[in-house]
Amino acid sequence: MNLRKRTGRLSFGRAPAALLVLVLLGSCGRVEQPLNSFDSQGPIAERINALFWPVFWIAVVIFVLVQGALLLTVFLFRERRGKERPEPKQITGSTRLELLWTVIPTLILAGIAVPTVATLFDLADCPPGAMDIEVIGHQWWFEYRYPDSGAVTANIMAIPEDTEICARMTSDDVLHNFWIPKLAGKRYLVPGQETVQRLYAEEPGEYWGHCAEFCGLSHARMRARVVAMTQGDFDAWVDDQLRPAVMPAPGSEAERGMEVFLASACIGCHIIDGVNNPDPATLTVASPDLTHFASRHVFAGATLPAGLNPTRADWEADLRKWLADPPTWKPGSFMPDLGLTADEIDALAAYLSTLE
């Protein structure tokens, strides 16, 4: 028996099938799906799904009908060995058929167009009375500004639950796209122009997002997070964000970290309110405000700490890694490797984690 031949047959015959089964099974896993646009958590996302599903099922019916007719024709008129088949009836030009397959698709498309256009127009503009939040896209993180209070933050957009939010968006550099699949659709952030995105979360919770337009080297590491909270929690959050930075205890490791911060290149890019307050226009590159850095459980474009359910220990470990060499995590990062010593990293990490 030729073994080599047998194993050869095995791998060629069954490997693709096994792979296919694995891929199919993979999609059945009960993993958390933070970017699942079918799991709508508010009226805006629901409106979009209410359009998607009917269109999807219409497409399924048409697909089955057309492919079924095709397969049936192939089967009925196939050539059989030794048997002479009569040529099928040849039709050239049938006014009735042509009318039918023009009128039916027209009716279907018109039927789809009515709710589509209505939804598009409804979601295109914010309703009066919505709460404004400015969203600014940067390579590769989102900045959020709250015009009502003056709060400024990065990576995590805090919103009150059951409130109509109007994200007024623009970009600092290239095209970005703000996409929080459980709450809304996608919308571009365009340099020099304002676009709006309606957001509405019914329940307190955390909603993941991602930049949905290729925007350079670290596009894949440009995430977003929306955290919806009760009105009371939100008001408290705003009050916290408006305070200047917490001062470290005299003689502590954190105080040493603050000194490293003030003595390093950090101050050329970052603001810690009450510690260094440069004119924002003089900063080398737009960079996340660090005044309340430790109040954010994700950083670096909401990609660190990595994983679905990281702990505070992961946060601290990843902060050290980030400080040691940002471009290894985010290729092309505008925060360069500053060649910090292990001792400086310890002190900075201790300081940054006090900035609640």
For ligand HEC, the closer of residues 133 and 166 by Cβ is 133
What string of DSSP letters covers 250-266?
TTSHHHHHHHHHHHSGG
Q: Which two tokens stand for residue 280?
A: 């924002």
For Cu ion, the closer of residues 167 and 222 by Cβ is 222
State in Å, rounded, how far the first CA of the chain is from the last one.
72
Question: Minimum CB separation from ligand HEC for residue 186, in Å?
Answer: 20
Question: Minimum CB separation from ligand HEC for residue 225, in Å?
Answer: 11
176 binds, among Cu ion, ligand HEC, none (CB under 5 to 8 A by kind): Cu ion
DSSP helix/strand/coil, 199: strand
317 binds, among Cu ion, ligand HEC, none (CB under 5 to 8 A by kind): none
For ligand HEC, the closer of residues 123 and 338 by Cβ is 338
For ligand HEC, the closer of residues 41 and 287 by Cβ is 287
Q: How far is CA 278 from the centre of its chain?
A: 32
For ligand HEC, the closer of residues 49 and 264 by Cβ is 264
The verdict on 296 binding ligand HEC (CB under 6 A) reads: yes
Q: Which two tokens stand for residue 329?
A: 């995590």
Q: Which two tokens stand for residue 260?
A: 């490293």
The residue range among 10-18, 44-52, 74-82, 288-296 that interacts with ligand HEC, by the rule CB under 6 A, is 288-296
For Cu ion, the closer of residues 142 and 261 by Cβ is 142
DSSP code of residue 276: B
Distances 192 to 100, 133, 136, 211 between C-alpha atoms, Å: 49, 17, 11, 18
Distances 253 to 116, 171, 338, 340, 342 between C-alpha atoms, Å: 58, 38, 20, 16, 14
- Using DSSP bridges, classify how beta strands 156-160 and 223-229 pair: parallel, antiparallel or unpaired: parallel
Adjacent-strand bridge partners of 165: 131, 199
Residues near ligand HEC (CB under 6 A), total: 31
- Using CB under 6 A, pick the residue from 293, 305, 318, 324 that binds ligand HEC: 293
Q: Find tokens 């590769």 and name the residue.
A: 140
333 binds, among Cu ion, ligand HEC, none (CB under 5 to 8 A by kind): ligand HEC
Question: Minimum CB separation from ligand HEC for residue 212, in Å?
Answer: 17
φ, ψ (nearest 5 deg) of residue 186 = -100, 145
The verdict on 317 binding ligand HEC (CB under 6 A) reads: no
For ligand HEC, the closer of residues 48 and 174 by Cβ is 174
Residue 324 amino acid letter: A
Binders of ligand HEC among residues 140 to 179 (CB under 6 A) are 140-141, 154-155
Binders of ligand HEC among residues 248 to 267 (CB under 6 A) are 261, 264-266
φ, ψ (nearest 5 deg) of residue 101 = -85, 5
Binders of ligand HEC among residues 321 to 340 (CB under 6 A) are 323, 330, 333-336, 338, 340
For Cu ion, the closer of residues 181 and 248 by Cβ is 181
* 206-221: b (≥16 Cβ within 10 Å) or e: ebbbbbbbebeebbeb
Binders of ligand HEC among residues 89 to 148 (CB under 6 A) are 140-141
Residues lying near Cu ion in the complex (CB under 5 A) are found at 176, 211, 215, 222
Residues 6+ apart with CB under 8 A from 253: 346, 347, 350, 351
- Residue ranges binding ligand HEC (CB under 6 A): 140-141, 154-155, 261, 264-266, 268-270, 284-285, 287-288, 290, 293, 296, 299-301, 323, 330, 333-336, 338, 340, 348, 352
